[in-house]
Amino acid sequence: MSIDEKIKNNIYMSGTTTLGLICDGGVILATESQATMGNLKANITAPKIYKIAPRISMTISGGVADCQQVAKIMSANLNIRKYEIGRDVSVKAAAQLTSVLLYQNRSYISMLILGGVDETGPHIYTLDPLGSLLEEPKFGATGSGSVLAYGVLEDEYKEGMSIEQGKELAIRAIKAAKARDINSGGRIQMHKITKEGVEELIIEE
């Protein structure tokens, strides 16, 4: 089924805010939790962030089924690749493998942020439905509320900020999106990623 057909048949679920930012020694990925279908709040506790490797996670926005499928496939692929090479896959390699998956299956409606920490440090990448891949040197955001989140990130982000400072900035950015974007809502989901692993957080309001 083509992208146009998916949108026409309401398989595409719009509305979300996801973000990622680089911190000193780690990465923060955060999302809100409201899934929408047109004017309907389809779910207010929808998971939008997935751990796909010991120190790598992915945020999703777009078609729910498509994004969930990408996350499942990449989790399996990275696990297989780990055993093939005898070590954890780098964040860059994980992003490149995700890009190839999206390019080879060009009907996935998905905007993704992939972030993690490896032996070279913290990294975040953004990917579009066609597999375009960009490394973000500071931060990135996707979804209908991203413009509002970017306003906060552009104003308040500081290079070298601690992981706790990054957590608080991410909360402020998601809150700003929820305040003005009608398609963003619910609680805040967050992954704090360091060399020790992924810490999953839920911030209720």
User: Contact at 8 Å (CB) between 184 and 176?
Assistant: no
Catalytic residue among 16, 36, 98, 126: 16
What distances in angstroms separate CA 115 from CA 89, 112, 162, one per listed residue? 12, 10, 16
CA distance 46 to 44: 6
Catalytic status, residue 45: no
Written as six digits, the tokens of 49 are 């962030």
CA distance 186 to 77: 31
CA distance 50 to 124: 14
Backbone φ, ψ for residue 94 (5° rounding): -60, -40
Strands 35-37 and 18-23 turn out to be: unpaired
Annotated catalytic residues are: 16
